[in-house]
Amino acid sequence: MKIGYAGMGIMGRGMAGCLLRDGHEVTVWNRTRARTDALAATGATVADTPAALAAGCDIIMVCVSDTPDVEAVTLGEEGLINGLADGKLIVDHSTISASATRQLAAAVREVGARWVDAPVSGGSEGAERGTLSIMVGGEVDDVERARPFMESYGTSITHVGPIGAGQMVKQVNQVLVVVNGLAVSEALLLAKAGGLDLDATIEAVKGGGAGSWMLANRGPQVVDRDWRPGFTIDLQQKDLRLVLESADELAVPLPATSLVFQLYRALQRRGLGHEGNHALVKALEEMAGLEVARD
């Protein structure tokens, strides 16, 4: 089985690398070709266009930034659709609009190919280590066909429903991530103001009812003032835009998520959109006149 991978961003590079480490035959494509160099050096073939990628592969993974990017990679002049044929399968790991996902799936079905939406969670660390959580929408047979390859980079792979359901579950995931991130930020700000040892505080609470992935993984980064992104503020904002659009369509109030969106917007105005999403704490620090850092 020949595997294609389109999108060598912060997540895609790690995921394609996991496929290579597991011995799969992998061809990659990226709009900026230089980003494929490291994978080419470890055995990947590089395609010149998405169409060439699709023509030479049986299953094509996609992980790009936003809905228009997936549409361009799939339906553009040199898009994947021009290389698809009966029996080929696209597995989209991007986080995009659920309605656009269903439209893209319908378009590739017209040429005999299949679509699975499979957004991921776990940050760039999870992509590199092969420990991502993957929420998958699609037909059972298509999901099971893709599963052995997704197991290269995912330890939790859950079929959540038909096409588009994966994207909706990812939106649920992002609500939990950012509201949890706000809680971590507020808690660490309180700990700092109270004169506590920040490392000891994190250690004391992370194993109990207040524990979470965000606290255990991003809390220490905040204390270290390490803003390297597992997921950038800019990408988080794109996801929250999708969440709030869905909430508006469904008439669901999401006050905490809306607040985080506005706090991130303030950080973007300060030119911090490239930093990790845990830099949310900086918005609270500015209001408090206090920095969450070791003494």
Q: Does domain 168-288 have CATH number 1.10.1040.10?
A: yes
Q: Are 292 and 192 in contact (CB under 8 A)?
A: yes
E-only strand ranges, the chain: 2-6, 25-29, 45-46, 59-62, 89-92, 114-117, 120-121, 132-137, 154-161
Enter the CATH code of domain 2-162: 3.40.50.720
**Predicted pLDDT of residue 295:** 85
Q: What is the pLDDT of residues 18-36, one digit of tens each?
A: 999 999 999 999 999 999 9
Q: Is 206 a catalytic residue?
A: no
Quote the pTM value. 0.93
pLDDT of residue 120: 97
pLDDT tens digit string along 180-219?
A: 999 999 999 999 999 999 999 999 999 999 999 999 999 9
Any residues with CB less than 8 A from the CB of 143 and at least 6 apart, and which?
A: 116, 136, 159
Out of 170, 192, 238, 282, the active site residue is 170
**What's the confidence (pLDDT) of residue 194?**
97
Report residues of the chain scoring pLDDT below 70. Answer: none
Pairing of strands 59-62, 2-6: parallel
Backbone angles phi, psi at 10, to 5 degrees: -60, -30
Domain chopping of the chain, boundaries:
2-162, 168-288
